[in-house]
Amino acid sequence: MAEKKRPIRAAGCVLVVAAVVALMGTGCIRSMVRVTSDPGDARVFLNNVERGRTPVEMPIMWYWWYTIRVEKEGFDPFEKNERFYAPPWAVTPFDIIADTLPIPIKNTYKRHYVLKPKTTD
């Protein structure tokens, strides 16, 4: 009688493991930064890599420091070190739950920079 229960237990364990693996691959936390500027259509660099012209939305992989530089002809370039903090749902142990949800969670940080007209030396 004990031998008949083993295949059922093994099948149950396989189903539980498969369900957990399937859930872990369904959702994720996507963090973005949206950069706008005044005037618009300025070039944006994230850690010295050009990412487009304002307004631009770009992914961030880590909650830490990033160097953002905004440039436009006729204006002084603007550069700032920005720190992006993790939202509550991206902190352990809540991140484990958020990552297993069947829907993606989007987190967007917004930054707006005002460029000053180029000064003459």
- Let me know: does 74 contact 88? Beta carbons within 8 Å: no
Q: What share of the chain is helix, strand, coil (3-state, %, to 5)?
A: 25, 40, 35
The pLDDT value given to residue 63: 86
Structure tokens given for 55: 């307004």
Distance of CA 58 to the CA centre of its chain: 8
- How is the chain split into domains, by residue range? 28-114
> What is the per-residue pLDDT across 68-102, written as a single tens digit (0 to 9) for each?
999 999 999 999 999 998 887 777 787 677 767 67
Which of the four CATH numbers 2.60.40, 3.40.50, 1.10.3470, 1.20.120 does domain 28-114 have? 2.60.40
At residue 15, the pLDDT reads 74
Residues in the chain: 121
First to last CA, the chain: 93
**Residue matched to tokens 């307004």:** 55
Q: Which of 2-16, 75-89, 107-121 has the lowest mean pLDDT?
A: 2-16
Q: What is the pTM of this model?
A: 0.69
pLDDT above 60: residue 106: yes
How far apart, in whole angstroms, are the C-alpha atoms of residue 72 and residue 54? 10
SS3 of 115, please? coil
For residues 111 and 38, the answer to whether their CB atoms sit within 8 Å is no
Give the model confidence (pLDDT) of 35-60 as tens digits: 999 999 999 999 999 999 999 999 98
